[in-house]
Structure 1
Amino acid sequence: MRLSRRALMGASLAAPFAAPASAQARYPERPVVLVAPFGAGGASDVAARTLAAHADRHLGQAIVVENRTGASGMIGSLHVRRAAPDGYTLLMARIASSAIVPAIDPAAQYAWDEFTFLGMVDINPYVFVVRDDAPWRTLAELVDEIRRRPGALNHGSSGPSTILNLGVRYLLLQAGLAPDATVEVPFRGGGEVATALLGGQVQIVGQNLSEAAGAIAGGRVRALAVTTPRRFPSIPDVPTVREAGFPALEAIVGWDALAGPPGLPGAVTRKWDEVLAALAKDEGWTAATRRVGSVPWITDGAAAKAYVGEQVQLYRDLGRRLGIVGAEIAIWQQRTAVSGNGKR
């Protein structure tokens, strides 16, 4: 009986893994869906499509980008969290949906560390921009205007728990102003926010350089400051936030990482280790990433998980300081659900 029980236990443990092992060895056998949790034209969408356009030849299969938007990126992230752990549904993990939301929203339906992190992809410098015909030439002039007329200017946001909102709120905090000294106007993603700035619906936008680079280069918007420690090569005339008198804002930076559902098998993670290592040497992807205003930054999964964990702690602390709470997030979600388009 002892022998038979051991044999039975061995069989029961081995059986679930035997069939998937052969299947995993052939991964991928079909196209991989890469979910971008924000709308077209936003930083996560740009990063996802840039990766898909170059990583497919290293993967050996097509990568199809699918935008699943809403709730500060939670809808798309939750979709991947619930997906089968087979490597065919992955997430372009974004700072808002994968660090800020889990850090400050008690209603979030996932924890940041439930996902399988495959690696970092890029870092996005963060810029404060206004329309080119705006009267403010410096960040200090803009802050003075807000101080003179609190509540008179709108800032574009893709949700209260996103970097677009928190960056502006942190600027107000550093300037000694109330968190509502500018009025948040929410949209579904950074692309819509950029359009709203050009259309005059908002007067201030803090956003990833990858979302604003084209408008800056085209002279349609003016960048007042960038959060990098040194001036960024593609916008050398734009001062850093340290030069502008707000060094604490260097903490605000965007990023993208590649992640999957919990429990991705080793064959899948090893394949993506190979793909990302090849992508890091891919001059086409590197040039394309830099062209949209991002900095290539490929890491392995362990380094990505460690970095995201640090970001979660940063925004947990920042959320407490700014008074961003779950109730405010719930109100925003109700408002955008009623409007149907993320605008108010």
Structure 2
Amino acid sequence: MGAFRWTSNRWLFCTWLAVASVAGLGSGVEAQAPYPAKPITLLVPFGAGGTTDLAARALAQVIPQYVGQPIVVVNKPGSSGAVAWQVMIESPTDGYTLMMAAIGTHGTLPAVNPNLPFKHNQFTTLGRTQVNPTVLVVRPDSPWKSLKDLLEAARKGPIKASVPGLGTMPHLALEILVKTTGLPKGSLTMIPYKSDAETVTALMGGHVDVNYNNLISAISQIRAGQVRALAAVSPVPGKRLSDLPDVPTFTELGIPQMNVVGWRGVLAPPGVPAAVVEKWEAAVRKMTEDRGWRETIQKLGDEPAFLGARAFGEFVEGEYQRYRAVAT
């Protein structure tokens, strides 16, 4: 009888131990569930309604089918993107807080602001999504019929150029034009405005002589004959913009250094797991091949331009170095 009681107790103990082990195993599996296991926050460094915000929301509509979880867009404007960047850096490195980056936040911002509270490369690149072409325009009654005409005039006296703020991509691009063509310092007087739209309006109103801008900000006025394009930058090397087939590219005109385009992509905090990088790199690639997404961002004036995580990182570093050289 005693032996039977001992055997029964041992059986009960072993059964309890097995159940506890299975329960513990299940808990461990749940804790290590494949990424992502919940919605992902995508920080936008600018306010709602801007082009970067619209690009982020276009991504959030399509990429969940490739990532496997919803994307929650959260606007964190301030300090030209530094506020959102800081929030991302301070977030856990679990891949659930990411950032929609742009040339203004991770190209020009650190280049002209070396005293930011973080390093210029303090992030993990996941993938570039798109680029947006740029264009140099004058008024239709301008005496300059070509870029050569404009440069010759600039050598004789200062020309006023409208830019959407000092230190922005259009401003630094024009500084690159001055430097690479050997124009005298100060030959282009930069007049800052609050937005891309205001810079075009200033040109049409005769307040400035020339404007360098994202194509989307000037294409309607070009088509309406309110401004005239002298040169453009195409995201496809050796090919003119489909919207402006009669306008030469800067490369055609012998100034490849002016191949300056806006761009956007997805970043994560430094130190995120490799699985997060791999998941997002694959998802971004698939999204950029998605017909619906491509049509949406082309309406925003952008062109699909995928770069994988490593290539995107090298690209962003090159952009920083390019604009840092101009800013110093």
Q: TM-score, normalised by structure 2?
A: 0.76
Q: How does 1:1-344 map to 2 (within 5 A)?
A: 22=31, 25=34, 27=36, 29-30=38-39, 32-37=41-46, 40-42=49-51, 44-59=52-67, 60-64=69-73, 66=75, 68-71=77-80, 73-150=81-158, 152-160=159-167, 162-198=168-204, 200-228=206-234, 229-250=238-259, 252-316=260-324, 318-319=325-326, 324-325=327-328
Partner letter of residue 249 of structure 1?
A: M
Distance in structure 1 (CA, Å) of the matches to 2:188 and 2:202: 15
Kindly state the Cα deviation for residue 208 of structure 1 after the two structures are TM-superposed. Answer: 2.6
Shift in CA distance, 238/68, structure 1 to aligned 2, threshold 3 Å? same
Kindly state the Cα deviation for residue 67 of structure 1 after the two structures are TM-superposed. Answer: 5.6
Kindly state the Cα deviation for residue 19 of structure 1 after the two structures are TM-superposed. Answer: 8.3
Kindly state the Cα deviation for residue 117 of structure 1 after the two structures are TM-superposed. Answer: 0.8
Q: TM-score, normalised by structure 1?
A: 0.72
Kindly state the Cα deviation for residue 256 of structure 1 after the two structures are TM-superposed. Answer: 1.7
Shift in CA distance, 270/283, structure 1 to aligned 2, threshold 3 Å? same
Partner letter of residue 122 of structure 1?
A: Q
Partner letter of residue 61 of structure 1?
A: P
Distance in structure 1 (CA, Å) of the matches to 2:154 and 2:253: 16
Q: Is the 8 A contact 1:130 1:204 kept in 2?
A: yes
Distance in structure 1 (CA, Å) of the matches to 2:37 and 2:221: 38
Query: How big is each residue's C-alpha offset from its partner over 1:99-125, in whole Å with a ceiling of 9 and x where there is no partner?
Result: 333345321222232101110112232
Q: Is the 8 A contact 1:38 1:189 kept in 2?
A: no
Q: Is the 8 A contact 1:139 1:224 kept in 2?
A: yes
Identity of aligned residues (%): 31
Kindly state the Cα deviation for residue 128 of structure 1 after the two structures are TM-superposed. Answer: 1.1
Distance in structure 1 (CA, Å) of the matches to 2:300 and 2:73: 20
Please, which runs of 5 or more residues in structure 1 have no aligned partner? 1-17, 326-344
Kindly state the Cα deviation for residue 178 of structure 1 after the two structures are TM-superposed. Answer: 3.1
Please give the secondary structure, in 2, of the residue aligned with 1:154.
strand
Q: Is the 8 A contact 2:91 2:97 kept in 1?
A: yes
Distance in structure 2 (CA, Å) of the matches to 1:194 and 1:19: 59
Query: How big is each residue's C-alpha offset from its partner over 1:42-75, in whole Å with a ceiling of 9 and x where there is no partner?
Result: 4x3453343234324444314425261434x334
Q: How many residues align?
A: 298
Kindly state the Cα deviation for residue 165 of structure 1 after the two structures are TM-superposed. Answer: 0.7
Distance in structure 2 (CA, Å) of the matches to 1:215 and 1:285: 26
Q: Is the 8 A contact 2:233 2:261 kept in 1?
A: yes
Partner letter of residue 176 of structure 2?
A: Y
Q: Is the 8 A contact 1:125 1:226 kept in 2?
A: yes
Partner letter of residue 304 of structure 1?
A: F
The aligned counterpart of 1:11 is none
Q: Is the 8 A contact 1:39 1:189 kept in 2?
A: no
Query: How big is each residue's C-alpha offset from its partner over 1:169-222, in whole Å with a ceiling of 9 and x where there is no partner?
Result: 122223332342222233455455445445555442222324433443444432
Please, which runs of 5 or more residues in structure 2 have no aligned partner? 1-26
Q: Is the 8 A contact 2:39 2:72 kept in 1?
A: no
Shift in CA distance, 32/219, structure 1 to aligned 2, threshold 3 Å? farther
Q: Is the 8 A contact 2:102 2:263 kept in 1?
A: yes
Distance in structure 2 (CA, Å) of the matches to 1:307 and 1:36: 20
Shift in CA distance, 310/173, structure 1 to aligned 2, threshold 3 Å? closer
Larger Rg: 1 or 2?
A: 2
Q: Is the 8 A contact 1:158 1:186 kept in 2?
A: yes
Q: Which segment drifts farther, 229-238 or 205-214?
A: 205-214
Partner letter of residue 212 of structure 1?
A: A
Distance in structure 1 (CA, Å) of the matches to 2:153 and 2:240: 25
Please give the secondary structure, in 2, of the residue aligned with 1:136.
coil
Shift in CA distance, 109/197, structure 1 to aligned 2, threshold 3 Å? farther
Distance in structure 2 (CA, Å) of the matches to 1:266 and 1:296: 25
Query: How big is each residue's C-alpha offset from its partner over 1:275-317, in whole Å with a ceiling of 9 and x where there is no partner?
Result: 213202201112233344433122321221122223333333x
Shift in CA distance, 132/247, structure 1 to aligned 2, threshold 3 Å? same
